[in-house]
Amino acid sequence: MGQAKSKCMNKKINKVQQKFESREEYFTKNGGILLEKQIALSQGQDIGAGQLRILREHEIKEATNDYDPDLVVGSSCDGIVYKGTFDDRIVAIKTAPKPVPNNELVDPDLVVGSSCDGIVYKGAFDDRIVAIKTAPELVPHNELVDLYLTDVSIGMVICHNSMAKIYGCCLETCVPMLMYEFYPNDLYRYLHGNMVMQKPLKWRSRLRAAADIAYALSYMHNALSKPVVHRDITSFGVLLDSSFYAKLASFGYAVAITPGKKDQIWPFHGIPGYIDPEYIETREVTEKCDVYSFGVLMLELITARDPVKMAKRGKDLVDDFASAIQRNGGKEMIDKIVLEEGDMDEIRLFEQLALTCVAKKGEERPNMISVVEELWRIQDHRNI
């Protein structure tokens, strides 16, 4: 009886061990995926790709003080961001929701639930049945791997001053870990965060942020032989440096498209409140999907209203603002900081451009080059 039980246990352990690979195997697998993504993006072009440092797992642990929770500066279902120190500089390090040892053994037969932010196991502790939630890194998570390595490949192939800079990545773990330049602020917190703790974002900074992000998107759409569509434009994907210059981030859902080709299929992705309604209907990814989301971001900048929270309440920032324009010129929805600091002519030009970007049909929207040029004109108007 004891031998039978032992054999059964060994089978389970072997079954679990097959799901885990050594650091070298992770490195080889993740490195191969990363190389494929680089080649697919660059199409053989040499546009001065950024240098990427390949980091060891122990270097990430040291930089984060062994994943010290006090160093966490952000988290979501697709990862945790730590503020760390590496080579005498402050960096941001993104990991899967919770790094765990690669060789940890957990019985997969005990899994009772899973989601993008973790796996729930049925277990025993102190003679009682408990539910144990772990990071998805306990089993290979292909979606997270693809997300992280796409982010890396974009950062390597497309370099722009208004894009978040990636320093390096660790390929030795199931889900790679990424290291970026550290930015102390993000647009979402300044528009929707605790205003008691910080001053509201000035109109001049909002206008400049819009121009910075538009410039980055324009570069993504035009720098390579194929346009690269970001697909994830939101205020929480826009970082701010210490001088409040904006940096576009969150490139994990980006795809390189062939213009005019109708049978291109990618997994559906969109953030409620920002997503292009034409994309919802057709599932066709074009540069105009980004233009729409950017138009929503522009409306968010002048109203300081959260599109995601509005969507959860069954409302839509675009529709509400368009209705306000019809009623009384939209002034009731414009943030008081913008009204106090901005010139009404430039505010009108800004909102008109935003409404053009969120036109229902993609063909009626401008391209990002035109958007950048118009935002520069608005900035010049301010400086006259």
Catalytic annotation, residues: 232
The rounded Cα 62 to chain-centroid distance in angstroms is 25
Instruction: Determine the Cα angle at 346 with ends 342 and 352, to 5°.
Output: 125
Query: Could you tell me the two tokens for 267?
Result: 């997994």
Classify residue 58 by burial, with Cβ atoms within 10 Å: 0-12, 13-18, 19+: exposed
Nearest by Cα to 257 from 291, 228, 296: 228
For residues 105 and 198, give the distance between their C-alpha atoms in angstroms, rounded to a whole number: 45
| Long-range Cβ pairs for the range 360-365 (8 Å, 24+) | 360/277, 360/278, 361/278, 362/276, 362/278, 362/286, 362/288, 362/289, 362/291, 362/292, 363/288, 365/288, 365/291, 365/292, 365/295
Nearest by Cα to 376 from 161, 163, 211: 211
For residues 227 and 288, give the distance between their C-alpha atoms in angstroms, rounded to a whole number: 11
The length of the chain is 384
